[in-house]
Every structure is written in structure tokens, then in C-alpha cells.
A and B are shown apart, each in its own frame.
Chain A
Amino acid sequence: DTEVTQTPKHLVMGMTNKKSLKCEQHMGHRAMYWYKQKAKKPPELMFVYSYEKLSINESVPSRFSPECPNSSLLNLHLHALQPEDSALYLCASSQGQGFSEAFFGQGTRLTVV
């Protein structure tokens, strides 16, 4: 089973709202990622968690706050977003740091109004 599950599938939020995106995997993977994908563009890395510790932050604005409560779960907390933050947010996981075979979830389509 190579499934990464993301919820919700769609989210519309106002610029003053606080919301969270959730990601779950049960493959025993120890590295988890958040990517952002704009329309007709490739995914761009935001954050990497390795063994539940944040290992890479690609200079993402503080209005995006990641959290890894345990080895199976990854959250992305959103606050005071801008319309240009509207995108497909993808979660991925891989076996561990340095093991590059990454599996993606279906994504959360976020619209900021």
C-alpha cells in the first residue's frame, strides 16, 4: 500500500481565517513533505520532516506553520493567507532521509478569498 491520504480535498478560506491541512501515511515512512503546486507548474518543496523533526524549511512565510505530531501524521496550519497562496497543496512521504522514493497524496485544493 503506497497511500498518502490528505484531508480536506478542497478548502475555501478567507484571509482572516485559520485552517489546517492534514496528511496521513501508514507505510512506516519516516520522512514527510509539504509541496505547493500552482496551476500548470511543477510542485515546489515547502517543508521536510525527518523522524518527526523539521529538517528543511524552504524559506516559507510564517503564515504557513507545519507540525508533525507523530511519524504517521503531518499537518499544515494556515493563518492570514493571501489570495496568491491559492494552490494545490501536496503531502508526500518517503522511507527516510536520503531514501528518495517519494509518494504523493491527492492534494488539497486551497482557495483563498
Chain B
Amino acid sequence: QQQVKQSPQSLIVQKGGIPIINCAYENTAFDYFPWYQQFPGKGPALLIAIRPDVSEKKEGRFTISFNKSAKQFSLHIMDSQPGDSATYFCAASKNNQGGKLIFGQGTELSVKP
């Protein structure tokens, strides 16, 4: 059973565009929602994370929007650059689960020059 659903599977945007990646979760006990960026052959790198008591969080060009009632959250990348081309994973976890992360299926982003 897939507990975190991520879309789209792949995304192509032009440089300067604003790609948006969406995730939906089922388990209302989740209380921590991170996004990871992964380049080929590398480990996932923590980008930004949010907790359910906040509706939006910005760090640099990355913004998470969170809709608790809809059980959805999304990542926006402002002024995207070719160097942002990577696979992005959303994830969710429960505070009492010892950091066990449930990942979405990933979105392969390509930013064209």
C-alpha cells in the first residue's frame, strides 16, 4: 500500500520556470514532511521540510505548500536552473516512528537552458 503518492513522474521546464511537484498522503498520523533532491549516483540530500502546523515554508528558491485538510503538500522551485535537474522525492514520517521515512515514488525534473 502506497502511503505517499507523488506526481508527476517526470517534468520538463524551461530555465526560469516554476516546476511544481505534488504529494498526497493517507495517514493522518504523519507529522513531518521533508523533500529530498537526488542527483544520479549520489545519496538524497535534504532540501526543505515542513510540519503540519505551518501552511507554507520558504528556503531560498524552494517553497513547500501544505494543505492539512486535503492531506496534500507540494514543492515549488522558483527561477529554476539547469543545475536543479535531478530526482525529487517527497517523504513523510511519524514522530514516534524513530525517523522512518515513507517516500513518494519520485519526480525526475529536467530544466532546459
Closest to A105 in B: B43
A contact residues around B49 at 8 Å (CB): 100-101
Q: Please tell me if B41 contacts chain A, counting CB pairs below 8 Å.
A: yes
**Residues of A45-96 contacting chain B, CB below 8 A:** 45, 48, 50, 55-56, 88, 90, 94
Least CB separation from B36: chain A residue: A104
Known: A42-B104, A42-B106. A33 touches B99 (CB 8 A): yes
Knowing A41-B105, A42-B106 are in contact, say whether A104-B98 is a contact too (CB < 8 A).
no
Least CB separation from B44: chain A residue: A104
| Set of chain B residues within 8 Å of A42, measured between Cβ atoms | 89, 103-106
CB pair B105 A31 closer than 8 Å: no
Q: Are A102 and B46 in contact (CB under 8 A)?
A: yes
Size band of the interface chain A makes with B: 20 to 34
Residues of B within 8 A of A55 (CB): 98
Q: Considering the chains assembled together, what is the distance between the CA atoms of A34 and B101 in angstroms?
A: 11
What residues of chain A lie closer than 8 Å to B103, measured between beta carbons? 42-44
Chain B: residues with Cβ within 8 Å of the partner, total of 23
User: For the complex, what is the distance from the CA of A105 to the CA of B95, rounded to whole Å?
Assistant: 22
A40–B96 CA distance with the chains assembled, in angstroms? 29
Q: Render B6-45 as a binary contact track against A, CB cut-off 8 A, 1 for contact.
A: 0000000000000000000000000010101000011111
Q: Show 5 A/B contacts (Cβ-Cβ < 8 Å), sorted by A.
A: A41-B105, A56-B100, A88-B43, A100-B34, A104-B43
* Chain A residues within CB distance 8 Å of chain B: 2, 4, 6, 31, 33, 40-45, 48, 50, 55-56, 88, 90, 94, 97-107, 109
Given contacts A101-B49, A102-B101, 15 further A-B contacts (CB under 8 A): A6-B43, A33-B99, A41-B106, A42-B105, A43-B103, A50-B98, A56-B100, A90-B43, A98-B95, A100-B34, A100-B101, A104-B36, A104-B43, A105-B43, A107-B41
